[in-house]
Structure formats: structure tokens, C-alpha cells
Amino acid sequence: MRPVRVAVVDEHEIFRRGVVTCLAEDPTLVVVAEVSEGPLADEVDVVVASPAAAADSLGFPLVVCGEPEGTRSVAQDEHVMAVLPRGTLTPDRLIGAVRAAAAGLRIDEGRKGRIDPGRLDERRLEVLRLLAEGADTQQISRELSYSERTIKTLIQDVERELGARSRAQAVARGIREGLI
């Protein structure tokens, strides 16, 4: 699987550096550009941008990081796959949004909260995270030191709780709802 090529475009250097550091935690993501403004010369799969940079219509799938009042004008752009408020941004949410954007999934923060995160205990959330990383039943079993039968049951529980018909749909719902 080829890594997802990410560009970070933000007028604030300290924020850019923080985003790059967070994205470096995921080996499937590679930052190919870190600039204060577009356009981008390198071909990228996803751009993490401030609202000001996103307004320049970079032409790539966008994950916009900014305060809600500053993102309204760009949120309707067809390229915007997710709008993440800086005040509540975490590395996991950023990485999840970039992965979702790379897969062509749109994250609607207005839908957040439809699934109660308390419905999935920590063990089931960890299974969901491993599924999102592409692990199969056997790999999850080894990672968590549970039998494959237990892992299959946990996966079924996750699918049921998220209203999903497959592992892929469970992962997509988990990303959309901010669980992973």
C-alpha cells in the first residue's frame, strides 16, 4: 500500500510544525510539503489547510483546521472533506480525518455525537482502531492476546453498535463519528 502524500498549508509556522509532527506518528502518511500558502507544486493526496489557505481552492481533497466562525465560507467547497476546530483538535482526529479524506470520505462534524462513544468499551475501540490500520482477525488476535474467536465476536459487536454491515463500513462510521 502506497503512503498517503500530505501537504500542510497554514500561515502560522508553529501550527504547521505541530500538524507535521502529529502526522509523523502515522507511518502510512508522508508529509511532502509544508508551506505558508499555495499553490502546491508537488502532487499530493490530501491537503491540511487553514481556512485562508483553503479559500485559495488548492484543488486537492482538503482537511480544514480552523475556528468554526472562520470556516463557514470554505466548508461548502466540494474539495473540503473535513472541517476540524483547532480548539478540540487531537492527533487521532487529525490522522483519522486525513485518512478519511484520502479514502474519499467526507466528515460532517454536525453529525458527531450520533453514536455514543461510551457504547464501545476500550477493548472494542482498540479492535476498531486496528481494523482501521488494515489488520485482519489473526493480526488483531496476536496484538491483543485474545483468541481469534473472541476477536470475531468483538468485531461483530463493533459492527452491530455502529450499525455497519461490514468491517469497512464500521471503520468508515468510526472515522466519521470521531471514534478513531
Q: What is the pLDDT of residues 14-32, one digit of tens each?
A: 999 999 999 999 999 999 8
Please, which pLDDT band fits residue 114 given cuts at 50, 70 and 90?
A: very low
* Res 150 pLDDT > 90: yes
Full domain range(s) for residue 30: 4-111
Please, which pLDDT band fits residue 97 given cuts at 50, 70 and 90?
A: confident
Q: Are residues 24 and 107 in the same domain?
A: yes
* CATH code, domain carrying 133: 1.10.10.10
Q: Are residues 47 and 94 in the same domain?
A: yes
For strands 29-35 and 80-84, give the pairing: unpaired
Q: Are residues 51 and 103 in the same domain?
A: yes
Q: Are residues 54 and 142 in the same domain?
A: no
Angstrom distance (rounded) from CA 114 to CA 110: 9
Q: Are residues 23 and 79 in the same domain?
A: yes
Q: Residue 54's pLDDT is what?
A: 74
Q: Are residues 159 and 87 in the same domain?
A: no
* CATH code, domain carrying 85: 3.40.50.2300
* Res 167 pLDDT > 50: yes
Percent of the chain at pLDDT exceeding 90: 24
Q: Are residues 13 and 98 in the same domain?
A: yes
Q: Are residues 10 and 93 in the same domain?
A: yes
Q: Residue 19's pLDDT is what?
A: 92
* Res 143 pLDDT > 80: yes
pTM above 0.75, yes or no: no
**Which grid cell sits at 155?**
468485531
Q: Are residues 97 and 121 in the same domain?
A: no
